[in-house]
Amino acid sequence: MIFLFVAIAVGGSQVSMFWMARKTQAILHGLKQVRIDATSEDQLTQLVPYLTKYDWVRDGAAHRGYEAKISNDQPPPYKLPWQAELLYWIERETGHHQIGNWIGYTPFDFELWIDIRDGKVSKIAYSVDASGGWPRLAGHTGIVAVRSVHSSWARDPWRLGINSIEDFSPQYDAESWPRMIRATYTSDAPANVTERLFDLDLVCMWKLFNRCEAPQQIAPKIDEDAKSIAALARQQIESGKCPDSIVAGRMKYLPDVTVTLLEVSGSRRVDVDEDDGEKTNEWFTDYKFKEAIRGASNGPWTNIRHRQAIGKPGDWMETMGNQIYPETKIGTEVLYFSGASFETCKFIPATPSNLEIVRTAPPAPKLAEDEPVPPPM
């Protein structure tokens, strides 16, 4: 009798997963053709199936959006899917607590949120969560999360951390970890880039003997891009330079960034006692204020310590040398970037080309839907 129940659970689970994967792929196929700020609400509903419209209020203003949810994974107190209930009973009766893993039951949750502004799509955000709410029944595959933005901002800009990958590739920021892949793309990112973000492989979600074990199996193209971007970001750091492209990206996609023109007034090497008891020898630099180019930033401008080590792009558990050293020649003009927490290139030489960029480049719009907060449900 137990074997019969196992067969029923296996069959029901795999058929259920197959149809959920098919519905999710249909949604993602439609999203490939959606363009931020260009696709109308009517076009959206024709391109993307299984959408539910919702109206809500944010910051006192009425907003419209669409959502889709495909799931077999609802934690208590909600009712479990019958396959999970049956597997739970089988495990309890047999005393074996890995049957769910053996036969391929995988909790699955796909969620999509779309914001509409002025009759057009203004934001897309989706997540595929197969991390598993019940460890005994799940393979802990992980999470894939993707969202669009016009610009990056937060209500408290000092809490906005910009790592070296986001600095190097502001239009398409992808990062891959063992249990999560995340990507952010801007509204003006090229179509050949954005389409890859909706090209997931969900076959391993329903194949009985080829189960997903990591988010990289679900999103291989995003994982490939993340590794490529991280490698290029490391090369840029090792070059010891801060290219104009980084300046242009900050000025366009970080509307809260402030830029101050300073002049080196002194520098020296100082022995520093670190928290771990080690001693390091680092540069400390003094500056004097010359001009506030964008926004207002306050000193003091003395005893500025150069950060010697930063997180290694692509592997934030490791560090690498910050080989972009500060200017130390007295009288040299530098640009100081604040309004966000930058890992590197915080003080860079004020060249004619980057001065032109910071004085003339207009920022992207700062829209409420781009703030990194959970969407309403």
Gyration radius of the chain over CA positions: 25
| DSSP state letter for 21 | H
| DSSP state letter for 354 | H
CA separation for the pair 235, 313 (Å, rounded): 10
CA separation for the pair 99, 87 (Å, rounded): 7
Q: Is 360 exposed, middle or buried (0-12, 13-18, 19+ CB in 10 A)?
A: exposed
Contact 331, 263 (CB under 8 A): yes
Contact 180, 218 (CB under 8 A): no
pLDDT at 130: 74
pLDDT at 81: 54
CA separation for the pair 322, 337 (Å, rounded): 17
What type of residue is 38? A
Contact 163, 311 (CB under 8 A): yes
pLDDT at 140: 47
pLDDT at 157: 67
pLDDT, tens digit, 9 for 90 and up, residues 71-102:
876 544 444 455 555 555 555 555 544 555 54
Task: Give backbone dihedrals phi and psi of 325, rounded to 5 degrees, phi first.
Answer: -85, 155
pLDDT at 161: 86
Contact 235, 244 (CB under 8 A): no
How many residues appear in the chain? 377
> Is 91 in a helix, a strand, or coil?
helix
CA separation for the pair 200, 217 (Å, rounded): 9
In DSSP notation, 312-350 reads ETTEEEEEEE---PPP-STT-EEEEEESSEESS-SEEE-
**Ranges of residues in the chain whose predicted pLDDT is under 50:** 2, 4-9, 75-80, 96-97, 102, 133-140, 374-377
Beta bridge partners of 69: 111
- Match 């209500």 to its residue by tokens: 155
pLDDT, tens digit, 9 for 90 and up, residues 162-212:
999 999 999 999 999 988 999 999 999 999 989 999 999 988 776 665 567
Nearest to 183 by CA among 92, 195, 68, 117: 195
